[in-house]
Structure 1
Amino acid sequence: MTRLSPYRFAGRTAVVTGAASGIGEHVAHGLAARGSDLVLVDRDALRLDAVAERIRAAHPGAAVETLVADLADRAAVIRTAEGIRERHPAIGLLVNNAGVALGGRFDQVSLAEFEWVMAINFTAPMLLIHHLLPALSAEPGGHLVNVSSLFGLIAPPGQSAYSSSKFALRGLSEVLRGELLESGVGVTTVHPGGIRTRIAQSARIGEGVPPDQVDEQQRAFDALLTYPPEKAAEEILDGVERRRGRVLIAASAKLPDLLARLMPVGHMRLIGMLTAAAGRGARAGAAK
């Protein structure tokens, strides 16, 4: 069986989506510190430019290119990928990190909302991989990172679109891990737990969710996000260097993964009980 040597960061170009904040921002900083040149992609031009300026100031030797793109727009994704490939015929690393969330039961979200999540969380990474694979495999030792989620390990009620997209990305990653091995390209699937990022602020709530439940759902989602994104980024880059096939970040991902393995059908009931108990404890503490 083919065994890949450790990934070499220095002197190679890395493409990172969702680079304007959170995990993507810290992955970009970590890559620059390891000697990589960067192509950073995000839809938020102001935040993206600020990230790029901080990286340039901290790492003057790093080449940092920024691209503003709405990954919900299929044509924009293809244009972005083709432009990257034209300017960078060989890249070392592609990190598909950008993602969005949508709360609400399946019957509470519209088809347009569901498809918006799938477009950004699954279709965009798939298109980027497809168009950039020749560049990723142009030189030996390339690597692909797809950031799935805790909800690519378990599928709780109220996360039909998000879990569907993250399970799909997980499945694609696992297929590619086997298919790309002989060509010398490694694949890492990342399953973050509750990472302290802006995803709660940018999350949408399904149009059919009652108004009195919107704030409650957003607060509950935000309360789960406690793990530092800089630590998550370091764990991802360590996984890339070691060519790990899967990286689970934080106990909030590792414990549910274990329960899902031990109790393939009944794990969600137990997780729901534990989550409800934790929520009651948090509310009691806040009331004191």
Structure 2
Amino acid sequence: MSNLREKHILITGANGGFGKELTKQLLEKGAYLILTDMKAPDTKPETYLGGKAAKGKILGSFAADLSSEAGCNKAYKDATKIDPKIDILVNNAGLAFMGRLLDVPMEKWKLILDVNLYAPIYLSRLFLPAMLERKYGHIVNLSSVAGITSPGELVYYSVSKFGIRALGEALDSGYRQKGVYTTNVYPFFADTNILKSEQFGGKDRKEVPKAIVDSPSMVVRAIVRGMEKKKLHVFPGFTAKMIRFLTRLSPGFLRAMERLGQKVS
């Protein structure tokens, strides 16, 4: 099991629900953090720990727009200016819009792919060479159960998360033997701002039942365990594990349930 103490970790999307919880739990593990989001995240450990003593440190933070290659290049330069040695890159930044293929405007679905898929590719390409030179590194990618099965109303989100899944598997295949590990994470719906994402193509807003929404703290605990164990695939919580099981056991089962739900609604 890998010790995260004093590991230098860059977290993208650090102002979000998972980002703040990652900051909290990694500080508790003694990690040294660099944080980024559209607005520079707070660098005071007490903001995340609620008065508890921090074992780790926040080395710095900066604002970054990861929706373009230029923005990712700037993020790389800003991060390495704060800390030239990044041991672990956590590709956590992401967004979603609900709607079928023809419902979501072009500028919206392009933005999903730019932030959710292309940014992790750009950032991985930028940070990977130094990891290989040091013969140690770790890239953590936030995929989703939507990267395992694709609901019609999350088409572009699913495309990005299937892509992240492929990216992580290919990185692991290509570089694990060289000392650079990859962890892909597949959460179900969690209580973060992504549940408030803009929706297209319907009159009434669709809400995810609170009874099936996972807590960010549970999801992040699973992520941190997966990082420590250098696991390739992490399915946090019962629902994510069950969806994985059902898609492997009977690939058509979830699609049949979706069609049944559409008839009932």
Q: TM-score, normalised by structure 2?
A: 0.90
Alignment partner of 1:264 is 2:251: yes
Give the Cα separation in 1 of the matches to 2:212 and 2:114. Answer: 24
For 2:252, give the aligned amino acid. Answer: V
For 2:246, give the aligned amino acid. Answer: L
Report the aligned-residue RMSD.
Answer: 2.4
Give the Cα separation in 1 of the matches to 2:101 and 2:262. Answer: 21
- Work out whether residues 17 and 98 of structure 1, in 8 Å CA contact, stay in contact via their aligned partners in 2: yes
Instruction: Quote the residue 1:173 is aligned against.
Output: 168
Give the Cα separation in 2 of the matches to 1:101 and 1:158. Answer: 11
- Work out whether residues 20 and 48 of structure 2, in 8 Å CA contact, stay in contact via their aligned partners in 1: no
Q: 1:235 aligns with which of 218, 222, 225?
A: 222
Give the Cα separation in 1 of the matches to 2:190 and 2:91. Answer: 16
- The structure richer in helix per residue is 1
Q: CA deviation at 1:63?
A: 3.4
- Spell out the pairing of 1:20-35 with structure 2 (5 A cutoff): 20-35=15-30
Q: 1:114 aligns with which of 86, 109, 112?
A: 109
- The worse-fitting range, judged by mean Cα deviation, of 70-79 and 244-253 is 70-79
Percent identity over paired residues: 28
Q: CA deviation at 1:246?
A: 0.4
Secondary structure of 1:49's partner?
coil
Gaps of 5+ in 1: 1-5, 281-288
Alignment partner of 1:54 is 2:47: yes
- With over 3 angstroms needed to count, the CA separation of the structure-2 counterparts of 1:274 and 1:51, relative to structure 1, is farther
Give the Cα separation in 2 of the matches to 1:225 and 1:41. Answer: 30
- The worse-fitting range, judged by mean Cα deviation, of 136-145 and 8-17 is 136-145
Instruction: Quote the residue 2:60 is aligned against.
Output: 65
Q: 1:204 aligns with which of 175, 179, 198?
A: 198
- With over 3 angstroms needed to count, the CA separation of the structure-2 counterparts of 1:8 and 1:138, relative to structure 1, is farther
For 2:254, give the aligned amino acid. Answer: H
Q: CA deviation at 1:255?
A: 1.5
Query: Which whole-Å deviations, capped at 9, do the CAs of 1:89-127 have from their partners, x for residues lacking one?
Result: 322111111110111110111221111100110011111
Q: Where has structure 1 moved over 6 Å in runs of 4 or more?
A: 274-277
- Work out whether residues 6 and 56 of structure 2, in 8 Å CA contact, stay in contact via their aligned partners in 1: no
For 2:96, give the aligned amino acid. Answer: A
Instruction: Quote the residue 1:12 is aligned against.
Output: 7
Secondary structure of 1:41's partner?
strand
Give the Cα separation in 2 of the matches to 1:224 and 1:105. Answer: 25
Give the Cα separation in 1 of the matches to 2:253 and 2:222. Answer: 30
Q: Looking at both structures, which has the greater relative contact order when contacts are Cα pairs under 8 Å and sequence separation is at least 6?
A: 1
Secondary structure of 1:20's partner?
coil
Secondary structure of 1:63's partner?
strand
Q: CA deviation at 1:252?
A: 2.0
Query: Which whole-Å deviations, capped at 9, do the CAs of 1:217-255 have from their partners, x for residues lacking one?
Result: 2xx246476211111111111111111110001222111
Q: TM-score, normalised by structure 1?
A: 0.83
- Spell out the pairing of 1:92-107 with structure 2 (5 A cutoff): 92-107=87-102
Give the Cα separation in 1 of the matches to 2:130 and 2:34. Answer: 13
- Work out whether residues 45 and 54 of structure 2, in 8 Å CA contact, stay in contact via their aligned partners in 1: no
- Work out whether residues 189 and 195 of structure 2, in 8 Å CA contact, stay in contact via their aligned partners in 1: no
- Work out whether residues 19 and 41 of structure 1, in 8 Å CA contact, stay in contact via their aligned partners in 2: yes
Give the Cα separation in 2 of the matches to 1:115 and 1:240. Answer: 30
Gaps of 5+ in 2: none
